[in-house]
């Protein structure tokens, strides 16, 4: 890696620091929850290494502990992450003509919601796109996520038992994360989709089960989006 | 780690990798953005639908438990910090902190 690329990589690392600092405690909570759900520390860390998508990892724990069938669990988690399909095209469009994509198979793995948002924001503020910069932006976030999970898993499922207020705060991380994600993608055309999905989820959960509510909400919301004209 | 959990992780991880890298690999995004077709509308709707569903599903236990102060404090904090900083991470952490404070105050 040459000097210029090294500088670009370093700039990416500096831009990633707020993300890494934020990821660590959330990942720690995931590690604690995963071990509490019966996974080994190695298994909990493996989920973060292999899946690397916070909200769907928490949901994976819920699906695993509720005994959901593998195809149902996989489809639910994949549907949840389908939005990531749009991140790469949106980023490359912002990067402009001729932007490098040779190593996208590697740095693209780091395009989480936060990394995507940070990259788009930096490009909007005039930063020139470079693949080295994308590597720098993605690596600290990934390291913080995996490291936080390992730390939480090693601390153990009962690590917070003597700290009820801290445990309460961690218990709210998941709805807080989903709400923040929802706000981050909220646009007026998506309001009917969100309303239909939420109502269908409540109805399905109360009438049948939480798994039915989750699947029903996703399907009903997506269908509401497909049927809407002028999206 | 059971084989079923490992299989779930590998399937979902492979899909995540494909979602994040293949659209870039195949050159999407250098031209026009997603059009107004049925597939584009589906892709645009799946993410919000999934996140809205999961927000509701993860919030229902708090509502069913009858707690008011802590969830309200957490929700307001997420919204306020999002409006202030436009950061998902900061809004999430603020929501958890406010929820913990509300939990402590409620005793």
**Nearest Cα to B57, choosing from A112, A48, A182, A224?**
A182
Whether the CB of B12 is below 8 Å from some CB of chain A: the reply is yes
Domain-located, residue B57? no
Give which of A146, A175, A203 to mutate to test B binding, by max B Cβ within 10 Å: A175
- Name the closest residue on chain B to residue A180, using Cα atoms: B88
Domain-located, residue B103? yes
What confidence tens digit (pLDDT) does each residue in A158-183 have? 777 788 888 888 888 878 877 987 88
Query: Domain check: are B44 and B78 in the same one?
Result: no
Give the pLDDT confidence score for residue B33 in this predicted structure. Answer: 47
Task: Give the mean model confidence (pLDDT) for residues A132-156.
Answer: 94
Task: Give the mean model confidence (pLDDT) for residues A56-64.
Answer: 87
Share of chain B above pLDDT 70, in %: 84
- Domain that includes residue B17, residue range: 1-51
**Nearest Cα to A115, choosing from A90, A142, A89?**
A142
Neighbours of B32 (CB within 10 A): 9
0.90 cut: is pTM over it? no
Query: Domain check: are B73 and B29 in the same one?
Result: no
Query: Domain check: are B36 and B73 in the same one?
Result: no
**For chain B, how many structural domains are there in total?**
2
Query: Domain check: are B1 and B45 in the same one?
Result: yes
Q: Rounded to an integer, what distance in angstroms lies between the CA atom of residue B24 and that of residue A136?
A: 18
**Nearest Cα to B12, choosing from A82, A44, A89?**
A82
Query: Domain check: are B43 and B76 in the same one?
Result: no
CB–CB of A231 and B40 under 8 A? yes
Domain-located, residue B8? yes
Domain-located, residue B59? no
Closest Cα in chain A, distance from residue B85 (Å): 11
**Nearest Cα to A174, choosing from B99, B101, B106?**
B99
Give the pLDDT confidence score for residue A6 in this predicted structure. Answer: 62
What confidence tens digit (pLDDT) does each residue in A106-129 have? 999 999 877 887 787 778 778 889
Of A3-17, A18-32, A142-156, B63-77, which one has max mean pLDDT?
A142-156
Closest Cα in chain A, distance from residue B6 (Å): 8
A191-221 burial string, b = 16+ CB within 10 Å, else e? ebbbebbbbbbbebbeeeebbbbbbbbbbbb
Query: Domain check: are B73 and B28 in the same one?
Result: no
CB–CB of A43 and B5 under 8 A? yes
Lowest mean pLDDT among A51-60, B36-45, B62-71: B36-45
Q: Which of B28, B70, B91 sits opposite A89 (nearest CB)?
A: B28
Neighbours of A183 (CB within 10 A): 18
Q: How confident is the model at residue B71 (pLDDT cuts 50, 70, 90)?
A: very high
Domain-located, residue B58? no
ipTM, two decimals, is: 0.79
Domain-located, residue B26? yes
Closest Cα in chain A, distance from residue B22 (Å): 7
Q: Which of A81, A172, A222 sits opposite B42 (nearest CB)?
A: A222
Give the pLDDT confidence score for residue B32 in this predicted structure. Answer: 44
CB–CB of A169 and B100 under 8 A? yes
Q: Which of A25, A52, A91 sits opposite B16 (nearest CB)?
A: A52
Give the pLDDT confidence score for residue A134 in this predicted structure. Answer: 95
Query: Domain check: are B74 and B99 in the same one?
Result: yes
Considering only residues 29 to 48 of chain B, which have any Cβ-Cβ distance to chain A shorter than 8 Å? 29-30, 33-34, 36, 38, 40-48
3-class DSSP string for chain B: CCHHHHHHHHHHHHHHHHHHHHHHHCCCCCCCCCCCCHHHHHHHHHHHHHHHHHHHHHHHHHHHCCCCHHHHHHHHHHHHHHHHHCCHHHHHHHHHHHHHHHHHHHC
Distances (CA, A) of A11 to A94, A97, A120, A224: 18, 22, 15, 42
Closest Cα in chain A, distance from residue B67 (Å): 12
Q: Which residues are within 8 A (CB) of A121 and not within 5 positions of it... i.e. 6 or more apart?
A: none
3-class DSSP string for chain A: CCHHHHHHHHHHHHHHHHHHHHHHHHHHHHHHHHHHCCCCHHHHHHHHHHCCCHHHHHHHHHHHHCCCCHHHHHHHHHHHHHHHHHHHHHHHHHHCCCCCCCCHHHHHHHCCHHHHHHHHHHHHCCCCCCHHHHHHHHHHHHHHHHHHHHHHHHHCCCCCCCCHHHHHHHHCHHHHHHHHHHHHHCCHHHHHHHHHHHHHHHHHHHHCCHHHHHHHHHHHHHHHHHHCCCC
Domain-located, residue B80? yes
What confidence tens digit (pLDDT) does each residue in B8-57 have? 999 999 999 999 999 988 876 554 444 557 766 776 677 788 778 878 98
Give the pLDDT confidence score for residue B36 in this predicted structure. Answer: 57
Query: Domain check: are B76 and B107 in the same one?
Result: yes
Mean pLDDT of chain B: 84
Query: Domain check: are B13 and B40 in the same one?
Result: yes
What confidence tens digit (pLDDT) does each residue in A173-229 have? 878 877 987 888 788 888 999 999 999 999 998 998 777 787 788 889 988 988 876
**Nearest Cα to A54, choosing from A114, A120, A121?**
A114
Q: Which of A88, A186, A231 sits opposite B36 (nearest CB)?
A: A231
CB–CB of B82 and A77 under 8 A? no
Domain-located, residue B61? no
Give the pLDDT confidence score for residue B49 in this predicted structure. Answer: 83
Query: Domain check: are B45 and B5 in the same one?
Result: yes
Mean pLDDT of chain A: 86
The upper half-sphere exposure of residue B15, i.e. CA atoms within 13 Å in the direction of its Cβ, equals 18
Whether the CB of A166 is below 8 Å from some CB of chain B: the reply is yes
Give the pLDDT confidence score for residue A3 in this predicted structure. Answer: 58
Q: Determine the distance from the C-alpha atom of residue B55 to the mean position of all C-alpha atoms in its chain, rounded to a whole number.
A: 7
Closest Cα in chain A, distance from residue B63 (Å): 11
Tokens of A158: 């009962």
């Amino acid at each position: 890696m040459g000097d210029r690329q090294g500088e670009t990589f370093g700039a990416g690392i500096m831009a990633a620091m707020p993300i890494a600092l934020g990821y660590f405690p959330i990942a720690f909570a995931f590690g604690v929850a995963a071990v509490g759900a019966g996974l080994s520390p190695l298994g909990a860390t493996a989920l973060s290494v292999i899946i690397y998508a916070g909200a769907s990892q928490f949901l994976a724990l819920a699906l695993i502990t509720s005994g959901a069938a593998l195809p149902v669990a996989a489809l639910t988690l994949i549907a949840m992450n389908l939005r990531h399909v749009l991140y790469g095209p949106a980023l490359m469009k912002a990067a402009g003509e001729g932007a490098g994509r040779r190593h996208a198979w590697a740095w693209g793995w780091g395009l989480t919601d936060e990394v995507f948002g940070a990259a788009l924001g930096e490009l909007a503020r005039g930063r020139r796109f470079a693949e080295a910069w994308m590597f720098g932006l993605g690596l600290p976030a990934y390291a913080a996520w995996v490291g936080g999970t390992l730390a939480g898993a090693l601390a153990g499922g009962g690590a917070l038992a003597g700290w009820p207020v801290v445990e309460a705060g961690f218990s709210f991380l998941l709805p807080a994360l989903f709400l923040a994600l929802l706000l981050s993608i909220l646009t007026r055309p998506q309001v009917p989709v969100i309303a239909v999905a939420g109502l269908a989820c409540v109805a399905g959960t109360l009438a049948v089960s939480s798994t039915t509510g989750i699947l029903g909400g996703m399907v009903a919301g997506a269908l509401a989006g497909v049927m809407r004209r002028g999206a | 780690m059971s084989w079923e959990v490992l299989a779930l992780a590998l399937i979902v991880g492979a899909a995540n990798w494909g979602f994040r890298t293949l659209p870039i690999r195949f050159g999407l995004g250098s031209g026009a953005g997603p059009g107004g077709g049925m597939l584009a509308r589906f892709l645009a709707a799946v993410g919000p639908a999934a996140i809205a569903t999961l927000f509701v599903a993860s919030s229902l236990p708090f509502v069913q438990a009858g707690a008011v102060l802590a969830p309200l404090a957490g929700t307001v904090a997420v919204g306020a910090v999002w409006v202030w900083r436009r950061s998902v991470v900061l809004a999430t952490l603020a929501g958890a902190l406010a929820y913990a404070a509300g939990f402590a105050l409620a005793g």
